Amino acid sequence: MTSPAFLDSQNRLHREAVGGECPHCGSTVHFSVMACPGFARLQATRPERVGVVLQCDACQAPVFLRYRVRAWHPQRIDFHPQPEHLERAPEHFSHACLPERVAQVFRETLACYSAGFYQAFALMSRATLQAVLDDLGERSRLRLFDQVAEVRTLAGIDDATFDVIRRVLFEGEAPRGQPLPPLGNLQAAVLVETLKDLLYQCYVRRTRLQQALRLRQFPGSEAGAALPPGSTARLVEG
């Protein structure tokens, strides 16, 4: 059970230890409290959300959190136990295995996700899929849909979340004035992992398999060097 978070009248913030991946150095560490608004000021202004500054114990960089206020009391202010992280660690992916155009679009897609710009992330997710279709051919659309459906089965994605992902990736352009389906935190997280898996299946897995086959045919030679995206290794019978 999650312990309550609250600020007492002596300006002491009580909360569970906050840790995770630092958005600056990438280390998985504990974060220490650096600054929190004073109790008297909060009681006077009564905001709906309260910002807190933490510090990464590894790189000493500031990390920002935001708590939703649950209740006001004479001697304490209760916060929601789960803070909202205002910064995310950058998403990682093996872009070297992707065609240049696909890699360029997907980098921008991940940047939108990390910044929390979910509407832009949805648009760039669709652009990423289109870049893959431009590379592999329009006839690969059904295969890509089947791969996304397989992710749904393997990960146990619920119907509502999968419907949003399907509409973002595979439905045609929305009528003018009508935005793409809105994404919440969970839906955006599922979508980014779905895209990663899709690109892994289309490019990374193929490239690594081709490299492994070449290494087995020509051990210790330059033939095992990285293949350019889109190239194909042929088996040589001995």
pLDDT digits over 31-41, tens only? Answer: 888 999 999 99
pLDDT 10s digits, 73-94: 999 999 998 888 767 777 778 7
Report the distance separating Cα 57 and Cα 27, nearest Å. 9
Task: Give pLDDT, residue 223.
Answer: 47
The pLDDT score that the predictor gives to residue 225 is 52
Q: Which residues are registered as beta bridge partners of 27? A: none
pLDDT for 169: 93
C-alpha pair distances (Å), 15 with each of 51, 111, 188: 14, 30, 27
Residue 75 identity (one-letter amino acid)? Q
Residue 237 pLDDT grade (very low, low, confident, very high; cuts 50, 70, 90): very low
Output the pLDDT for position 228: 54
47 exposure class (CB count in 10 Å sphere: 0-12, 13-18, 19+) = exposed
* Rounded Cα distance, 20 and 82, in Å: 13
Asked if pLDDT for residue 222 goes beyond 80, the answer is: no
Tens of pLDDT, residue by residue over 188-214, are 999 999 999 999 999 887 777 777 777
